[in-house]
């Protein structure tokens, strides 16, 4: 696999992880003596990805200071500092666009508070075979919000399971396949010319809008470990699953 670039979303306020995030960024929450940030940089490294962008906002100085340990390693880390943010996932990606100006191949985006054993090479190979605008890692599991796909795993909508709200890309579709998002994307750099160039907005809304005319697909990796480490109790579970 040719070298590719990645971005870790680490700018969020981490309100679900209070009280830790009252004094620290969620990216520096610790699982078995390793921070979430460290674990996901190592995860990306394990698939040959050593060119990484990390966006920061909440306690940004702590994250920037932590990243200094990579200064003399084979991993190059650029910081996208959202001083007036955070800009959410879509806005965060748009704000970091300058770091991808010379990128011509698909890149990976990942939430820093997700831990998984997903085979990233397999997902990238899948993406390259069908060349969609974006491939979203998803599984069959319960969650408060889910993407909705047609029978060919093309994105057609989104549903909030708590409120019943549904958003469609291009009209209602029957017999949808609901899947929970794993916080990992493989994205064609063409997306930067199709999404807003600035602002505060969710990448979910971008995908839903673009899926009306562009191919956005789900990559079902059900059976893998996937853990959203967004709450204190999930840190305990993570300590059992990830050594």
pTM for the model: 0.95
Residue (of 128, 94, 104) closest to 217 by Cα position: 128
Buried b (16+ CB within 10 A) or exposed e, 25-38: bbbbbebeeebbbb
Q: Strands 51-56 and 5-9: what pairing? A: parallel
Q: What is the pLDDT of residue 108?
A: 98
Q: What's the mean pLDDT in 208-217?
A: 98
Compute CA 91 distance to the chain's CA centroid, rounded to the nearest angstrom. Answer: 13
Q: Can you list the alpha helix ranges (DSSP code H) found in 102-226?
A: 120-130, 203-210
Q: Name the residue range of residue 195's domain.
A: 5-241
**pLDDT tens figures, 53-64:** 999 999 999 999
pLDDT confidence tier of residue 232, bands split at 50, 70 and 90? confident
Distance CA 41, CA 37 (A): 6
Asked whether 52 and 118 are in contact (CB, 8 A), the reply is no
- DSSP one-letter code for 221: -
Within 10 angstroms of residue 146's Cβ, the number of other Cβ atoms is 21
Distance CA 185, CA 115 (A): 14
**pLDDT tens figures, 64-117:** 999 999 999 999 999 999 999 999 999 999 999 999 999 999 999 999 999 999
pLDDT exceeds cutoff 70 at 2: no
What secondary structure does DSSP assign to 142-170, as a single string? --SEEEEE-TT-BEEEEEETTT--EEESS
List the CATH number of the domain containing 82: 3.90.550.10
Asked whether 81 and 57 are in contact (CB, 8 A), the reply is yes
Q: Which structure tokens are listed for 63?
A: 């994250």
| Domain count across the chain | 1
pLDDT exceeds cutoff 90 at 242: yes
Q: Which structure tokens are listed for 76?
A: 């190059």
């Amino acid at each position: 696999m040719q070298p590719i670039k990645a971005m870790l979303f680490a700018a969020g306020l981490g309100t679900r992880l209070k009280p830790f995030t009252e004094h620290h960024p969620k990216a520096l929450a610790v699982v078995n003596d390793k921070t979430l940030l460290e674990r996901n940089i190592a995860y990306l490294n394990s698939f040959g990805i050593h060119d990484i962008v990390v966006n920061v906002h909440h306690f940004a100085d702590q994250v920037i200071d932590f990243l200094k340990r990579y200064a003399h390693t084979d991993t190059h880390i650029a910081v996208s500092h959202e001083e007036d943010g955070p800009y959410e996932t879509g806005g965060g990606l748009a704000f970091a666009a300058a770091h991808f100006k010379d990128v011509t191949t698909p890149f990976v985006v990942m939430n820093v508070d997700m831990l998984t054993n997903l085979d990233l090479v397999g997902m990238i190979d899948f993406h390259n075979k069908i060349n969609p605008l974006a491939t979203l890692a998803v599984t069959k599991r319960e969650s408060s919000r889910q993407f909705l796909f047609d029978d060919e795993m093309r994105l057609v909508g989104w549903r909030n399971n708590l409120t019943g709200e549904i958003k469609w890309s291009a009209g209602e579709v029957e017999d949808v396949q609901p899947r929970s998002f794993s916080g990992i994307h493989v994205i064609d750099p063409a997306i930067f010319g199709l999404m807003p160039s600035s602002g505060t907005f969710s990448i979910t809304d971008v995908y839903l809008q673009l899926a009306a005319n562009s191919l956005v697909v789900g990559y079902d990796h059900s059976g893998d470990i996937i853990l959203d480490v967004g709450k204190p109790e999930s840190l305990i579970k993570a300590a059992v699953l990830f050594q």
